[in-house]
Amino acid sequence: MSEELESRRKFKALQGWRLFIPVVLGLGVVVYLFWGEFNYTDFQNISLVKYGFLWFFCAIIMMFLRDLGYVIRLRIISSSQLSWRQCIRIIFLWEFTSAVTPSAIGGTTFAVIYIYKEQISIGKSSAIVMLTSFLDEFYFLIMFPIIVLSVNFSDLFQITQVSGNDEWGHSLMFFAIAGYSLKVLFAGLVFYGLFINPHGVKRLLFRLSYISFLRKWRRKMVRIGSDIMLASIEFKDKSWKFWLKTLLTTFLSWTSRYWVINFLFTMFFFVSFSDHFMIFARQLAMWIMMIALPSPGGSGFSEIIFSQYLGGFIPYAFLIPVLALLWRGITYYPYLLIGVFLLPAWIKKKFGGN
């Protein structure tokens, strides 16, 4: 009963005025950037390219494919214990929680409860969430080296054309390397625990949790160890078809997410193939940087990084915040709106009362 009350308390914290924090942060940055860069003469020269609205529709389709990939993956990992409707509801709630919590935390803690409340055991729920986290990290582990090897590394973090100096570029490179290192450590630990020695990983995390500067994360570290062991029991002996399908749906989701910006850019101006590839590469690096962000859903910081890191591909400065707003309007704010209506009804249904 105490766990039910604790879960209810956590979900209540996601409602109310806290929902306005990411909106205010994100819109505040966009307004500030737009106010400083708007030029009426440039504005008169702006027009959509031929079939511009079609490219906007393609950007929306990318987000549909992204969510579709997540839903299919969840259905596969749950061995079809979750219905399609349950999978859709869980994904939307999961994305909403990610949108209102810091990027480094994400929605994984709440995701376990979402799945558990759909009549899946707490052990399997934890295992499902752990595996989805591992698959997401695996995507970055594979794609980031490919991207780095495919483009000029210095060009990947070169933003002097936007800021006038390369201090931002060096800072972003540091964030990307630090974020990727954290992902490598996490994915390596989970891989070793899933497929080689789950008991050893659980013991290691338990012992590490007693180190003085790690004590405040003790409960989380112990829980991760337990989740890895449960995931190993649940998924270690799955067939190659299972892994192929989960990897393909993971790659569908993340790659579709990144193509949103590419299509938005194509709305207003012609983008060459090489530019498209660099835009995709920079988005991958951006997401790796966002692992350490303290703001809900990366709000504020995401818009700034967008303007500094992708602004060099945009011919008019005042279009940078406009495209940043369109990007967040497609990939972020809809989940806030859906969650505002979906979460209260879900809490009432699953926990009862008001």
CA distance 147 to 155: 12
| Residue 171 to residues 16, 119, 175, 238, 354, Cα–Cα distance (Å) | 35, 46, 6, 42, 47
Tokens for 100, please give them.
């209102």
> Per-residue pLDDT averaged across 222-239, rounded?
88
pLDDT reported for residue 10: 61
pLDDT digits (tens, 9 = 90+) for 30-80: 555 555 554 545 555 555 667 778 889 999 999 999 999 999 999 999 999
Q: What pTM was computed for the model?
A: 0.83
> Per-residue pLDDT averaged across 208-220, rounded?
79
pLDDT reported for residue 132: 93
> Per-residue pLDDT averaged across 241-251, rounded?
96
pLDDT digits (tens, 9 = 90+) for 321-344: 778 778 888 888 888 888 878 888
Q: With bands split at pLDDT 50, 70 and 90, how would you rate the model's confidence at 103?
A: low
What's the one-letter identity of residue 109? T
Angle at 87 between CA 84 and CA 93, to 5 degrees: 145
How many Cβ atoms sit within 10 Å of the Cβ of residue 274? 9
> Per-residue pLDDT averaged across 79-102, rounded?
89
pLDDT reported for residue 7: 57
**Segments forming the whole domain that contains residue 37:** 2-351
Q: Which one is predicted more confidently, 247 or 173?
A: 247
pLDDT reported for residue 40: 47
CB 177 within 8 A of CB 318: no
Checking if the pLDDT of 250 tops 90, the result is: yes
> Per-residue pLDDT averaged across 185-193, rounded?
90
Checking if the pLDDT of 8 tops 70, the result is: no
Mean pLDDT taken over the chain: 78
CB 332 within 8 A of CB 26: yes
pLDDT reported for residue 22: 60
Total of domains in the chain: 1
pLDDT reported for residue 167: 58
CA distance 74 to 132: 8
pLDDT digits (tens, 9 = 90+) for 287-326: 877 665 555 545 556 667 777 777 777 776 667 777 877 8
CB 72 within 8 A of CB 244: no
pLDDT reported for residue 163: 47
Checking if the pLDDT of 219 tops 70, the result is: yes
User: If DSSP states are collapsed to H, E and C, what string results for the chain?
Assistant: CHHHHHHHHHHHCCCHHHHHHHHHHHHHHHHHHHHHHCCHHHHHCCCCCCCHHHHHHHHHHHHHHHHHHHHHHHHHHCCCCCCHHHHHHHHHHHHHHHHCCECCCCCHHHHHHHHHCCCCCHHHHHHHHHHHHHHHHHHHHHHHHHHHHHCCHHHHCCCHHHHCCCHHHHHHHHHHHHHHHHHHHHHHHHHHHHHCCHHHHHHHHHHHCCCHHHHHHHHHHHHHHHHHHHHHHHHCCCCHHHHHHHHHHHHHHHHHHHHHHHHHHHHHCCCCHHHHHHHHHHHHHHHHHHHHCCCECCCCHHHHHHHHHCHHHCCCCCHHHHHHHHHHHHHCHHHHHHHHHHHHHHHHHHHCCC
Q: Which one is predicted more confidently, 162 or 171?
A: 171
CB 184 within 8 A of CB 215: no
